[in-house]
A = this chain, B = another copy of it.
Amino acid sequence: MPTSTIELSGHIIDSMMLPRIFDAIMDLGGSFRVEEFRVGQSKDEPSYTRIALVHDTDDGLHAIVAACQQQGAVLVAARPVRTESAPRDGVFPDRFYSTGNQPTQVRAGDAWLEVENIEMDCGIVVEAGRARCVAVSEVRGGEAVVVGHDGIRVQPVERARRREIFGFMTSQVSSEKPKHLVIRELALTMREIRGRGGRICFVAGPAIIHTGAGVHLSALIAGGWIDVLFAGNAIAAHDIESQFFGTSLGIDLRNGLPIEAGHEHHIRAINRIRAAGSIAAAVEQGILRDGVMYQAVKAGIEVVLAGSVRDDGPLPDVVTDMVEAQRRMRAALPGVELCIMCASMLHAIATGNLLAASVKTVCVDINPAVVTKLADRGSSQTLGLVTDVESFLRELSECLATP
């Protein structure tokens, strides 16, 4: 019967690596024999186990090994990684290794190479002593792409040894929890990251403007708390609409009441920026004088406005080609340690797809379904907050304003 032996070490019980591995083996119809097991006797001591995996078929065994690898198991008889040439631009070999978002290494010769820019659902290209994570749209014909499961080691980000909001509250989506303490801890995390020169990414949806929270996001940008802003056409258009007309989607932001014919304002705002040439040009020409996009131009942060098929206009700054938009988002992410996603399902999922599991992520939405959807995407470091985006940003901005 096809057999493989894996080993696993660390906090393998309470970090859920071992329970998940036992689950996977049983779900996939395999069986196992625990050959060695040393349990950490106290909470700081690591455990170790070596397990022989058995399945009736080679394919079944491969599936089990793949599942165990994603949980951090390593094949004992580690052969070097194997590669095949990409048949042509934009196509992987059929048996390519599909990445997860956890730190991953490949064994080339005797060395383990760290896969650079790890990201879910990609391939690994090995070249000149380096291993890179590459999206299928970016692979070039002839590049050496990793296939099969040999010579691969995944090192899941471990659960923190102490109680903290990230990791601990993973998948907590309830609106029925106290949130101000979480926001205070988030502010602390932001101070720490900025203190050590780390970068913070913010993903923003249009409800930020509709709810009147644009001023708080503007303040965060002006205060230097945001290094990278990912958004779409809608939030930029409504932010600019609110500067030009005092409305957002036709609602008067001073009193919350709809303005007849106000629904035209966003398309008029877009047209004026198109006339100016770009948002930055509108700032230079003195046409746009405040708001989120103004502050982003002034602060010189990296902005990627990715288009979507429902866009009106769009604004001239919007990247309308989706492959190009992903490329620019990837280029902006290195160095990012924290990602805050507010009221934007589309852009939040798009960003989540690109993030390594080691990036702390906070997803804020009033709709629990959005928070659940993101938490399901597999980052072990996602904190979901079901709350009103306006009150979230107001509190966060207050916490950061006082030193």
Task: Using CB atoms and an 8 Å cutoff, list the residues of chain A in contact with chain B.
Answer: 13-14, 16, 18-19, 22-28, 31-34, 37, 39-43, 49, 63-64, 66-67, 70, 87, 90-92, 94, 96, 98, 121, 136-137, 161-163, 165, 168-169, 175-182, 206-207, 210-212, 249, 251, 253-261, 263-264, 266-268, 270-272, 274-275, 306-314, 316, 320-326, 329, 345-347, 349-350, 353, 366-369, 372, 378, 386-388, 390-391, 394-395
Contacts and interface: CB of A to CB of B under 8 A. Distances in A.
Contacts of A310: 346-347, 349-350, 353
B271 A91 contact: yes
A38 to B, nearest CB: 8
17 contacts: A33-B41, A64-B260, A96-B268, A98-B267, A136-B274, A168-B257, A176-B210, A178-B212, A178-B390, A179-B211, A179-B388, A308-B308, A309-B347, A321-B321, A321-B322, A388-B391, A390-B391
B309 A178 contact: no
A112 B258 CA distance: 31
B322 A66 contact: no
Kindly report how many copies of this chain are found in the complex they form together: 4
A307 B322 contact: yes
A306 to B, nearest CB: 4
Contacts of A263: 121, 378
Nearest to A67: B260
B90 A260 contact: no
A271 B96 contact: yes
Contact of A322 (B165, B254, B314): B314
A92 B387 contact: no
Nearest to A161: B26
A176 B205 CA distance: 11
A345 B386 CA distance: 18
A99 to B, nearest CB: 9
Contact of A178 (B206, B256, B268): B256
Contact of A260 (B34, B63, B180, B367): B63
Contacts of A320: 321-324
Contact of A308 (B40, B49, B350): B350
Contacts of A329: 309
B177 A211 contact: yes
Contact of A14 (B19, B268, B369): B19
- List the 6 shortest-distance A-B pairs measured between CB atoms, nearest first: A391-B391, A178-B212, A67-B260, A14-B22, A310-B350, A98-B264
Contacts of A212: 178-181
Contacts of A90: 274, 316
A307 to B, nearest CB: 4
A34 to B, nearest CB: 5
A260 to B, nearest CB: 4
Contacts of A369: 367-368
B309 A182 contact: no
B63 A261 contact: yes
A261 B32 contact: no
A1 to B, nearest CB: 13
B42 A32 contact: yes
A22 B43 CA distance: 8
Contact of A309 (B98, B207, B275, B350): B350
Contacts of A322: 307-309, 311, 314, 320-322
